[in-house]
A and B are shown apart, each in its own frame.
Chain A
């Protein structure tokens, strides 16, 4: 009984600390900030212009697709970290080096996307070169 609880104690502690931090920071900001609401302050902010309608059911900008694509690639790479983490001790130094090489390759892809402008989110949209070409290239190095 005691052994089983003991195993989960660190997790319980961590969960408790996380909860405390979240509740604590919200409570602190609610208590410390001044609260003087006016109608103007409660309106949705849109560059000082009166909002005509809220965005609903509109088409997504193509930039969202770009971000989604980049996300998928970097997200799925984690799949190879999982089995390595499970067999970390058995694999030892060999596994560590392998994983370092793998992550270095992912990093190459990241540098490429970054320097190529794939992560820019400027008003005029990504530069023409950065739209689809860049995203595709990520695949290779990853």
Chain B
């Protein structure tokens, strides 16, 4: 039997680097965090190179139908690898500062990234399940990795609800298998397309899978774990999981909806639209009520899950195109926003809104970066967030869901209040207390990367539209 490993080379490289860091941590006489960082970044870079090489080999699936080889997968992987690289750099700096850096942290980030990239290319529900678990289990541990009580508590709540959602997802897989006799996405679509009337089992499967994915992308009403996990986790880890989980889980969700359940489009359309509407409203309204920046950003991430879902209601390439652009923009701005918080705060202290008062006086650079990311999250031009919102709304309107676009616009206006209030605090208020933000210049340079991306995509979105357009076709 001949097995071609190129389609999963990125994952192999990531896991290999992770194992190297893990064993290096216990076998080397003196653990050198810098060496771990170098190995981790090398693994991520290698994985990125391996992904790019798959760009020209579009078509079908590999490894007995387990993974898809398509450009959508390449783009999703590159976004995820970029997030991982930024998170590794941030974690290296901030966790060392707080005395919480251990070799397990970069290793687990690498393992979680491998799960995410595998999730983004899975063409079979079995692969989806395994990848989802690799990423979730790594993130549960990362959430609790600081061993402060808040962190452990966040990890426990994340774990309990995550395991709960896994059970729903797996039951959905079982029902899909029962209805069609296969777990491959293409096979399910093929089996469902031939029927004149939809089997009840397939509808049950659709509902259960929606619950499972709803938890993972933190769409309301399945978002309860999000604020606790985001607040409890070390902030650099929060930056990683908020961007990574969302991109990976949405990539898999788009594959399931637009490939496997494509024949049931009339049935899942309203479900996704409903989830989207509830998410944008709940996330935006609750974001205003928060007094902690990490929790506010967590609720904002619930709202953003809703915006991506608005894009996903448009079937086929236009919806995928819009959702992919939104995910790219979202990854840039949320990593940036949590990155700034990780420099302003220390451990679990300094994350409240009050602690950000007068940030402009203390560090104009951090305040400027944060303001840019907040403007983008609010969807105000000239930032990536604005273009992203416009593109998902346009996709929804073109698919006939104009009411959904209207709800989205109204929710954006409400959510903008929360972001602008924080900016007013940063620029117009006097600092409270004596907390000084982290003065080191290197992490500021790291944060300049997502900042540049956010601005560039906002001013010249044409730079990526060509690539994303080519990537908006799913193969199976």
- Is B104's beta carbon under 8 Å from chain A? yes
Which of B16-24, B41-49, B78-86, B204-212 contacts the other chain?
Answer: B16-24
Which of A94, A108, A136 contacts B22, CB < 8 Å? A108
B23 in complex: contacting residue of A94, A111, A139, CB < 8 Å: A111
Residues of B76-110 contacting chain A, CB below 8 A? 102, 104, 107-108
Task: Across the interface, name the chain A residue whose C-beta is closest to B145.
Answer: A133
Majority secondary structure, A binding face? helix
- Cβ-closest chain B residue relative to A118: B26
Q: Which of B26, B107, B145 contacts A115 (CB 8 A)?
A: B26
Q: Is the CB of A115 within 8 A of B27?
A: yes
Q: How far is the CA of A133 from the CA of B147 in the complex (A)?
A: 9
User: Does more than half of chain B's interface fall in helix, strand or loop, or is it mixed?
Assistant: helix
Assess A137 versus B141: contact at CB under 8 Å? Given A94-B1, A94-B3: yes
Residues of chain A at interface, number, CB under 8 A: 15
Residue of A nearest to B147 (CB): A133
Q: Which B residues, 386 to 416, have Cβ-Cβ distances below 8 Å to chain A?
A: none
Which residue of chain B has the shortest Cβ distance to A129 in the bound complex?
A: B102
Q: Which of B1, B26, B27, B111 contacts A140 (CB 8 A)?
A: B111
CB closest residue in chain A, given B108: A140
Asked if residues B137 and A112 are in contact (CB atoms below 8 Å), the reply is no
Q: Contact: B27 with A137, CB < 8 Å?
A: no
| Nearest-CB residue, chain A, relative to B26 | A115
Interface centre among A108, A116, A137, A139 (most CB of B within 10 A): A137
Q: Which residues of A contact B290 (CB under 8 A)?
A: none
- The residue that A141 contacts in the complex, of B3, B22, B141, with Cβ under 8 A, is B22
Q: How far is the CA of A116 from the CA of B137 in the complex (A)?
A: 20
Question: Would B19 and A141 count as touching, CB distance under 8 A?
Answer: yes
A129 CB to nearest B CB, Å: 8
CB pair B19 A108 closer than 8 Å: yes
B23 touches A140 (CB 8 A): no
Q: Which residues of B contact A108 (CB under 8 A)?
A: 19, 22-23
Q: Is there an interface contact between B137 and A140, defined as CB atoms closer than 8 Å?
A: yes
B182 adjacent to chain A (CB < 8 Å):
no
Contacts of A139 in B (CB 8 A): 137, 141
B138 in the interface (beta carbon within 8 A): yes
Measured between beta carbons, the chain B residues less than 8 angstroms from A92 are 1
**Bound complex: CA of A72 vs CA of B186, how far in Å?**
35
CA distance A140 to B145 in the complex (A): 15
Question: CB-defined interface of A86-112 with B at 8 Å, one 1/0 digit per residue?
Answer: 000000101000000000010010011
Residues of A within 8 A of B111 (CB): 140
Of the A-B pairs whose beta carbons lie under 8 Å apart in the complex, a sample of 23, sorted by A's number, is A94-B1, A94-B3, A105-B19, A108-B19, A108-B22, A108-B23, A112-B22, A112-B23, A116-B26, A129-B102, A133-B104, A133-B141, A133-B145, A137-B22, A137-B107, A137-B141, A139-B141, A140-B18, A140-B107, A140-B108, A140-B111, A140-B137, A141-B22
Closest 7 CB pairs of A and B: A115-B26, A94-B1, A140-B111, A136-B141, A116-B26, A108-B19, A139-B137
Could you tell me which A residues sit within 8 Å of B by CB distance?
92, 94, 105, 108, 111-112, 115-116, 129, 133, 136-137, 139-141
Other A-B contacts than A112-B22, A137-B141, 8 sampled, CB-CB below 8 A, are A92-B1, A94-B3, A111-B26, A133-B141, A136-B141, A137-B22, A137-B107, A140-B107
